[in-house]
Copies of this chain bind each other. A is one copy, B any other.
Amino acid sequence: MTENIKKVAVFTSGGDSPGMNAAIRSVVRTCAYKNIECVAIYRGYQGMIDGDFKQMNARSVNNIINKGGTILKSARCEEFRTEKGRKKAYDQLKKEGIDAFVVIGGNGSFAGAVKFNREYDFPVMGIPGTIDNDILGTSFTIGFDTAINTVVDVIDKIRDTASSHNRLFFVEVMGRDVGHIALNAGVGAGAEEILIPEQNLGLERLLDSLKRSKKSGKSSSIVIVAEGDKIGKNVFELKEYVEEHLPIYDVRVSVLGHMQRGGNPTCFDRVLASRMGVRAVEALIEGKSNYMVGIRDNKLVLTPIEEAIKAHTEIDMELLRVSDIMTT
C-alpha cells in the first residue's frame, strides 16, 4: 500500500460503449470510499491537454449507472499522439495535482496510456470499455453484452417482417476486425448464416446454405454480416450477388449502425463496470501501474496493458460450430 496516490483522474476515450457511466461512477465512489480525491477529465486525452477537469464526489455520479453513452464525453485526439501534446497533458495533470489516472476505453486509448506511462512514469490503469469485446486479458469488455442484446432485439423485429413475407435479410453489424458481436448475436437471434472477419466460408457455401434453408421450409432467412467480413462483399453487394445467383428470394438489407453503441446498459455490463472500477482504484492504491483490469472465470485479474493490446481476442471456434449446428 503506497501513500502516494491522493488524487486520481478518470476519463473515457475512443468510441463510447454502454456501461462507461457505471465504470465512471464506480471509480468516483471507490475514491470517495477510500478518502482519495477524484477528478473527472472531459473529452478524453483532448480534455487532458486542455485541462478540462472537474472535481467529483460520490453525489456527482448519482443516477448515471443506468444511462448509455458517457457523461464525460469522448473524443479521438490527434494532438496526444505527438510528444508535444503529451507534454501539455502531463503539465495539466501536475498542475492539478493528479497522481494517477484511470482510462476507460479500447485498444487505441490504452496505447496512448502506455506511451504516456513510459515517458513520464505516470501511474495509469485501464478499464476495457468497448462493444467489440476484442481485448486480450478479459473475457468481457464493458458494453459488449448490451450491444449483442441490442442487435438481437432488432433482429427479432426484422424476423417478424421477414417471416411475414418469406424474405431474406442481410443485416450488417459492427465489427471491422473481429466477429464477436456478429457471432454471439447471430447465434442468439437464430441467424441462418454469420459472416465474420476471421473466416471466409466462401460465396458458394452461402448460396448452398440459403438453398438448403429455403428447401427445409424455413419462412425467412437472416444473414448477419460483420462490417469487416472476410468474404469481401458488403451487405449491398451480397444482396446483388444473391439476387443474381439465387433468384428464389426477395432480398432486403439492413445496416444497424450506431444504435449498437447506445442504450441503457444491461445488468451484466453495470455489474462488470462496477467491479472493474473498484479494482482499478484499489490497484493504483496498491502501487500498481500500467495494468488493465479484466475478468476471467468470474474473477477480476490484472494484465499488463502492453499485453492487452498486442492482438485481438480470437473467435470462439466452439461457438462457430454451435452456430453451424443450430442452422440445421
Contact = CB atoms under 8 A, between A and B. Distances in A.
Interface of A: 12, 16, 18, 25-26, 29-30, 32-33, 58-59, 62-63, 65-70, 73-75, 139, 145, 148-152, 154, 156-166, 169, 184-185, 187-190, 216-219, 252-255, 257-259, 261-264, 266-268, 270-271, 274-275, 278, 296-300, 316, 318-319, 321-322, 325-326, 328
B139 A298 contact: yes
B325 A160 contact: no
Contacts of A63: 159, 163, 190
A160 B217 contact: no
Contact of A274 (B59, B187, B257): B187
A50 B108 CA distance: 52
Given A159-B262, A169-B258, A271 B164 contact: no
Interface of chain A: mostly helix, strand, loop or mixed: helix
B33 A325 contact: yes
Contacts of A75: 165-166
Contacts of A322: 26, 274-275, 278
A28 B68 CA distance: 25
A275 B325 CA distance: 10
Nearest to A151: B267
A259 B263 contact: no
Contacts of A325: 26, 29-30, 33, 278
16 contacts: A12-B164, A26-B322, A29-B326, A62-B219, A63-B163, A66-B159, A69-B160, A70-B164, A73-B163, A148-B268, A149-B266, A151-B267, A152-B267, A162-B258, A255-B257, A297-B298
Contacts of A66: 152, 156, 159, 189-190
A90 B294 CA distance: 48
Copies of the protein in its oligomer: 4
B158 A259 contact: yes
A267 B158 CA distance: 16
A153 to B, nearest CB: 8
A267 B185 contact: yes
Contacts of A74: 164-165
Contacts of A59: 216-218
A149 B146 CA distance: 11
A165 B268 contact: no
Contacts of A16: 160-161, 164-165
A161 B267 contact: no
A29 B328 contact: yes
B297 A145 contact: no
